[in-house]
Structure 1
């Protein structure tokens, strides 16, 4: 009786095992949810709520920007100085400076007129025999000197009214453009201290705490846009030929209220071995192809990277 009972139990176990195997769905594959993360960082070195969903263009983090703000202010002041110097070159001297030169010119004209009259009187006396010829040298020299001074100051007034030379204006224009470029660079550096979300998504993780030093180029925030949530699974070589992009499937996960619908978005063209074996006609069934599927944006929030799921082809 004992042997018979043992034989019946073994037979029942085999039957149940075979029955369980017969209920296995060949279109179902076990895998995990994966996410393609977006890493946000800054190109500048400096010091810096995960789990929060943010909208596109929403501020994500800000770094200390005292140095960049001061650099922008300095660049703007240098640009203002270059522009002022260019305007000064283009307009010539100021009116008060020109008025000073004109007053000097008027004084020189008066002196020249006085010297000319004195020369005329002395020349008349010489012709009348009242003075010697040598006495005409001093008034003649004075008249020549004052006349030369009048010409000099007249030219100074004309030059003062002229704008700067073409080469000077070109050089100063270049200085203005260089200062403008410096302002743009300083503005860009300052903008890099405040990083916004490129798309709507979940702030999956923050890689630095406040006060920690962030090296230039290092990511600070790890974001997961809902459209980047996907399921990656592998199908055998005998199945991949039946699949096509856009084919519907369902994703089942423990604890989910209902299965999540998805569609195939990628089919790998290269086969993989699992486990690694040497290829032959006998073990070609071990060849598998990677398949990726995405849900709708609304359903993506129901899945989490690393979550085990069962994928069933429709």
Structure 2
């Protein structure tokens, strides 16, 4: 005797029939292909670790975790007693080198030149007296009043006095001259070296106060005020909005439809509106499963990682680790 399917179902009660229908619907749903323009992903951040090249005690932490820091805003300050003293020492050494250079370039001081002028005046007076005595002795010698020896002594004294005048005149001219070019160049090098030391001291002192080089979210703080911070040890972990990215995975069959800078849209729970994205990276290596699986359809499939970035203004609405849905527009 032949039975139809309807006759066969009549043998079951109504609840059993409903259960069988549900199983059939689930089997049909499992065979339905997934939407090729819709992928699950999550928000990720590329953090910036803010540190100082110098070590020291953390004197002031100017921001808190979760705060948005503007460009140039103060972040933290380390104690700087040693660096301040080194900077002051370098400044005084530069001042001394510059003063020495100015002294070399200007010749002797006016007071020193006055001493030389006085010596010249004395020599000129002595030369005038010697010249007058020589004329007298010449007249006396012609009259036979003195011996030739006395006349010779008078001539020698006049010549000596005249030579002393020329000596002090030359000395005064030398006093007015700057130092030799080689000495000036050597002192100029000393000034340049002192300037470099001052610049280095200024840089080290500036490293004790760190300001935000980029605007962003203060994601975490690693130290408290009063703790010692080693040189190069991060004090803050920041997340600039341009470092926020979306990571999702697509099957191999979709890979050929995507390209760098391609436009996408993002939606998430609690988002007021969709967010525009641009693909920034397409992995060249395949994976079997993404590290975080939000979709059962991606299990045990060959997938490729894709990264896309929102505009900085839209990135402020997203949070690292947040699940999102990415679509082709």
Normalising by structure 1, report the TM-score.
0.84
2:96 match: secondary structure: helix
Aligned to 1:251: 267
Cα distance, 1:89 vs structure 2: 1.9
CA displacement, residues 230-279 of structure 1 (integer Å, 9 cap, x when unaligned): 210111101112223323232323xx254642324234251322159xxx
**2:53 aligned residue:** 43
- Asked if 2 retains the 8 angstrom alpha-carbon contact of 1:251 and 1:262, the reply is no
Q: Who is 1:14 aligned against?
A: 23
The Cα shift of 1:52 comes to 0.9
Which region of structure 1 is more displaced relative to structure 2, 192-201 or 148-157? 192-201
SS at match of 1:234: strand
In 2, Cα distance between equivalents of 1:132 and 1:157: 39
Quote the offset at 1:57 in angstroms.
Answer: 1.6
CA contact (8 A) 1:264 1:291 kept: no
The question of 1:87 aligning with 2:120 is answered: no
Q: Give the structure 2 partner of residue 282 of structure 1.
A: none
Q: Which residues of 2 match residues 211-230 of structure 1 at below 5 A?
A: 211-230=226-245
Question: For the residues of structure 1 that align with 2:281 and 2:218, how far apart are their CA atoms?
Answer: 29
Look up the SS of the partner of 1:249 in the other structure. Answer: strand
Of the three residues 119, 122, 132, the one matched with 1:104 is 119
Equivalent position SS for 1:111:
helix
Aligned partners of 1:290, 1:265: CA distance in 2, in Å?
11
Q: How does 1:119-138 map to 2 (within 5 A)?
A: 119-138=134-153
Structure 1 unaligned blocks of 5 or more: 277-284
Map of 1:291 onto structure 2: 306
Range 226-235 or range 259-268, more displaced: 259-268
* Pairs aligned (count): 302
Aligned to 2:6: none
Question: In 2, distance between residues paired with 1:188 and 1:207?
Answer: 24
Q: For the structure 1 residues 233 and 10, does the alpha-carbon distance in structure 2 shift closer, same or farther, using more than 3 Å as the test? A: same
Corresponding residue SS for 2:268: strand
Question: CA offsets, 1:29-70, max 9 Å, x none?
Answer: 333210011222222232322211011122222222222222
Which stretch has the larger CA shift, 76-85 or 96-105? 76-85
Per the TM alignment, residue 229 of structure 1 is displaced from its structure 2 partner at its CA by 1.4
Q: Which of 185, 197, 206 is the matching residue for 1:170?
A: 185
Structure 1 residues 19-28 or 259-268, which shifts more? 19-28
* 2:280 and 2:309 in contact (8 A); partners too: no
Instruction: Report the counterpart of residue 191 of structure 1 in structure 2.
Output: 206
* 5+ residue gaps, structure 2: 1-10, 59-63, 291-299
- The answer (yes or no) to whether the contact 1:262–1:293 under 8 Å persists in 2 is no
2:301 is the alignment partner of 1:303: no
Are the counterparts in 2 of residues 92 and 161 from structure 1 also a CA contact under 8 Å?
A: yes
Decide which moves more: 96-105 or 178-187: 178-187
Task: Report the alpha carbon displacement of residue 159 of structure 1 after superposing the two structures with TM.
Answer: 0.5
Partner of 1:280: none
Q: Identify if the C-alpha distance between structure 1 residues 265 and 23 changes in structure 2 by more than 3 Å, giving closer, same or farther.
A: closer
Question: Does the alignment pair 1:139 with 2:154?
Answer: yes
1:30 corresponds in structure 2 to 40
